[in-house]
């Protein structure tokens, strides 16, 4: 054997080993990238669900007999297109309450009457006011008043919370 041939074969062996090492490193990098992407998707889903799980509604009693709806946006971002479906304590469905936005915070739904110049009531609408003192949640009863609350979160996803839980609605 000639010495040049042994050196050539050594170079071929080193090159083949380097190629195998590069392929192994490439596959490991690809696998790591897929793990990172899956984790990013889980984190994004967790963030979306975190805001949605911070939105709630219930019936509350103010004073001895006045019932009202309470809304809570416990997140740091506004939610949009809020629709609260509710009923009386006896199960009689009421008209849905619709709000364009629900900023962060706790709110009480108030019925405001519209009057004409003579003082006659010509209509009514519902507004949100910051929750005040003296509004308490009645265990059991107040929770049953709300059948569902639907809203669009800051990510543009539509959600519905019912007594059965929270679910994302199709876009």
Decide which of 59 and 99 is more confident.
99
Which residue is it, tokens 């008043």? Answer: 145
Q: What is the pLDDT of residues 113-163, one digit of tens each?
A: 777 888 787 777 777 877 765 555 555 556 678 899 999 998 899 999 998
Mean pLDDT over all residues of the chain? 83
Quick one: which of 17, 49, 29 has its CA closest to 161?
Answer: 49
Query: Which helix H or strand E contains 117, and what residues bound it?
Result: none
* Complete DSSP assignment for 80-103: EEEEEEEB-TT--B-PPEEEEEE-
Q: How far apart are the first and last CA of the chain?
A: 74
pTM given for the model: 0.68
Distance CA 122, CA 8 (A): 99
Query: Which helix H or strand E contains 106, and what residues bound it?
Result: strand 105-115
Distance CA 168, CA 151 (A): 10
């Amino acid at each position: 054997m000639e010495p040049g041939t042994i050196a050539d074969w050594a170079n071929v062996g080193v090159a083949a080993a380097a190629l195998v090492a590069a392929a192994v490193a490439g596959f490991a990098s690809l696998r790591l990238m897929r793990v990172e992407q899956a984790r990013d998707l889980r984190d994004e889903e967790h963030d979306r669900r975190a805001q949605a799980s911070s939105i709630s509604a219930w019936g509350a009693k103010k004073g001895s007999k006045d019932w009202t709806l309470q809304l809570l946006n416990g997140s740091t971002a506004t939610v949009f297109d809020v629709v609260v479906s509710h009923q009386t304590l006896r199960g009689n469905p009421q008209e849905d309450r619709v709000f364009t936005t629900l900023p962060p915070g706790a709110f009480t739904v108030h019925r405001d009457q519209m009057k004409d110049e003579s003082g006659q009531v010509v209509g009514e609408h519902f507004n949100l006011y910051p929750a005040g003192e003296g509004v308490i949640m009645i265990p059991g009863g107040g929770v049953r008043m709300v059948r569902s609350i639907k809203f669009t979160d800051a990510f543009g996803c539509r959600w519905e919370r019912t007594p059965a839980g929270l679910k994302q609605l199709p876009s």
